[in-house]
A and B are shown apart, each in its own frame.
Chain A
Amino acid sequence: MKKILLIIQREYLTRVKKRSFIIMTILGPVLMAALMIVPIYIAQLSDSEKKVIEILDETGIFLNRFTNTDNISFRHIFTDLQTAKDNFAESGDYALLYIPKTQIALPTTAILYSDIQPNINVKSYIKRIMSKEIEEQKLIININKLNLDQKDREIAMDIPNSIKTSINLSTIKITEEGYEEKTFTEVSMVLGIFSGILIYFFIFLFGSQVMRGVIEEKTSRIVEVIISSVKPFQLMMGKIVGIALVGLTQILLWIVLTFAIVSIFQISFADKLPVKSTEILSTNNQLIPVEQLQTTNENTDEITRIFEAIYSINFGVMIFSFLFYFLFGYLLYAALFAAVGSAVDSEADTQQFMLPITIPLIFAIIMAQFIIQNPEGPVSFWLSIIPFTSPIIMMVRIPFGVSNVEVVLSMSLLVLGFLGTTWLAAKIYRTGILMYGKKVNYKELWKWMKY
């Protein structure tokens, strides 16, 4: 027992002290954090730019109707279109809104001149204000036709507003929930696929480290020196456990560092992040005036919703199951990787034996995209129970919520699977490590298992 600890210690320390490990440990979280921060930052960046829009309103209806927002400000100009266009080119303003004069009816068209493709938010904001204004104008015209007295007129003017508000509120509630539901599914999908791919990646990364370690010991011929002091099984398990600890160290450092970087970023750039909108959403159950919701930037809204969904996921469960499935998924495959390493003389010869290891993993990754469509289906169930695919598939399913019975079943089968593959691999390993210069095939491996 003391010897296996010595082996674990060596395997762990030699790897953790390597420069590549340190670089990966620092670079990983930086990349992860960048992946989380940069899109938000870019979205913020493009919106925080102050846009000035010139308005050439020939109808005169919209004078001072366009209220400035945080990033859009409006400026009325009073010239003809040609001069306005000429001046616009030099002004450096964002866009020029031209509302042509109409003879009889109210204006229903407008033209937005711009150097670049105008932002969708800007367009929808302009549309919204214009249609609101025109609706109001139409209403006034229609009420005027009714010849009402002052009191009735006021009531009539108020009718559409009250109706509209109530309709809008209910509509928004439905879409709001539906939208949130949808975002939640999307976030679960992304999270599931992401953790599935991470597990896949880590199994290969650390599994092949085991394999390379075994090949190194075999080709450097140190293996016989060591197994004259310890049992081959101790050497194999020492290596596997040592590298597992390296993996756990790396992952934990990644998680901690990523959270650290993201929270440092959040603190130092708090004013730029969509905190305000989050507040609005968090009071969502109360009635919120339509205008207020409408004026919040749609882009920011979406990000906020995603954040909402992310925050609603139980990260404790996610991290625990991720660590469990990583650890045992790795252990299950690591023994097989060790067996492959012991059977060959150089890394170039590993190809033929890698196939049975890679096939279930690749299959699981391919199936993952169907699993997220139907995380409760029978295929999903079976693949998350079978130990060879369960580390990936169960991780894909967990963000959607999986019943405890299934999780416990899957976990126990995975542990059993690990014991099984290790037992099998140890048999190949103890013969393989002392076998040099022999072309090994599957028939040969079968014989070794029976020794």
Chain B
Amino acid sequence: MDLFSAHNITKHFSNHTALNKVSISVPEQSIFGLLGPNGAGKTTFLRIINQITAPDEGDLFFSGKKLTPKHIEQIGYLPEERGLYKKMKVGEQALYLAQLKGIKKKAAIKKLKYWFEKFEILTWWNRKVEELSKGMQQKVQFIITILHEPKLLIFDEPFSGFDPINVNLIKDEILKLRDNGSTIIFSTHNMASVEELCDHIALIDNSIKILDGKVKDIKKEYKSNTYEVVYTDFIGNLNSILDNNFKLLEQNQEDDLYKAKIKLPDETRPNDLLQNLMPHLVINSFNEIIPTMNDIFIAKVKRNENTK
């Protein structure tokens, strides 16, 4: 069951197209990564989901029903361009924003106290926002976003501005939120976090969706049957001992260890390569090279540009 889906979303601005027939579907209780280079249309897409801007064409569905303003209270949004009123006190401000989301004042105070304590920021309650560092402000904003326990959470670049410790804190919270039943859409440039967190991704480039699916499937699809061998006790070009159907991609030396990347023809198992190599050298490690999301991202975007 998809919690959220978008069909053929198109959005034109006066002199360019921000989104061209983009469709996604986000299964319930999953983390969905929205990837793409700068200016691809991610933020516009997230704004459309939040009903901040209206699409020119296309339909949006929330739990199978057409998305309407009454769904706002079930959506939490942490925009990329985020800030707080500088002159307002932290607690007062968090309370205000929580009430705008439709939480009653008493309940909001109780929840805020809980989260402030959890994030160890309760002592800031009566401090003015301008006294806080950017990272501290981000924590407050994160709390405000998730406070009303929305079914759908949308984070636009949630990790920007956080130090590594807080990035981990936020990551853990995001995973916990999913485990507790929330569905999460987030956009990021941080590919490492995509691999750690995302169940599904969609890659948007130049207003068009060029890739989507489960992270596992995509990675499997982009594997090229290439292996890295680390070995010793052999000096010289590996080509001299490799069978013809194995292709040596690169070979280099680090201290007294040698490394080589070898591509196998399709339908060939790694065992064949090992059998070929074992008589000639000592193998220290043998790994399949799995493309990172980073590699896939770059490859896909570059190819998309070349085809234009």
Which A residues have a C-beta under 8 Å from some C-beta of B?
Answer: 3, 6-7, 10, 14, 216-217, 219-222, 224-231, 434, 436, 447
Contacts and interface: CB of A to CB of B under 8 A. Distances in A.
Contact of A229 (B87, B100, B141): B100
Nearest to B100: A229
Interface residues of B, number: 27
Contacts of B52: 224, 227-228, 434
Given A3-B100, A434-B52, A222 B85 contact: yes
B86 A220 contact: yes
B99 interface: yes
A224 B97 contact: no
A229 B82 contact: no
A231 B70 CA distance: 12
Contacts of B82: 221-222, 224-225
Nearest to A3: B100
A446 to B, nearest CB: 10
A219 B82 CA distance: 10
B97 A226 contact: yes
A14 B88 contact: yes
B75 interface: yes
B100 A224 contact: no
B100 A220 contact: no
Given A14-B87, A228-B50, A228-B72, A6 B14 contact: no
A42 B185 CA distance: 74
Nearest to A213: B85
Interface string B68-97: 010010010111011111111000000011
B144 interface: yes
The dominant DSSP class at the A interface is helix
A221 B75 contact: no
B97 A225 contact: yes
A226 B100 contact: yes
10 contacts: A3-B100, A6-B96, A220-B83, A221-B82, A222-B85, A225-B97, A226-B100, A228-B77, A229-B97, A229-B100
B14 A224 contact: no
Contacts of A219: 83
B259 interface: no
B100 A230 contact: yes
Given A6-B99, A447-B14, A222 B84 contact: yes
Contact of A10 (B50, B84, B96): B96
Contacts of B72: 228-229
A208 to B, nearest CB: 17
The dominant DSSP class at the B interface is loop
Contacts of A434: 47, 52-53
Nearest to A431: B53
Contact of A221 (B50, B81, B87, B88): B81
Nearest to A235: B100
Contacts of B87: 14
A228 B14 contact: no
Contacts of B200: none
A228 B88 CA distance: 20
A235 B280 CA distance: 74
A6 B99 CA distance: 8
Nearest to B78: A225
A24 B14 CA distance: 46
A372 B53 CA distance: 50
A225 B77 contact: yes
A224 B51 CA distance: 11
Interface string B248-292: 000000000000000000000000000000000000000000000
Interface string B25-67: 0000000000000000000000100101100000000000000
Contacts of B85: 14, 216-217, 220, 222
A19 B81 CA distance: 30
A221 B97 contact: no
Contacts of B88: 14
A3 B99 CA distance: 8
A222 B100 CA distance: 13
Contacts of A7: 100
B88 to A, nearest CB: 7
Contacts of A229: 72, 97, 100-102
Contacts of B83: 219-222, 225
Contacts of A447: 14
Nearest to A448: B14
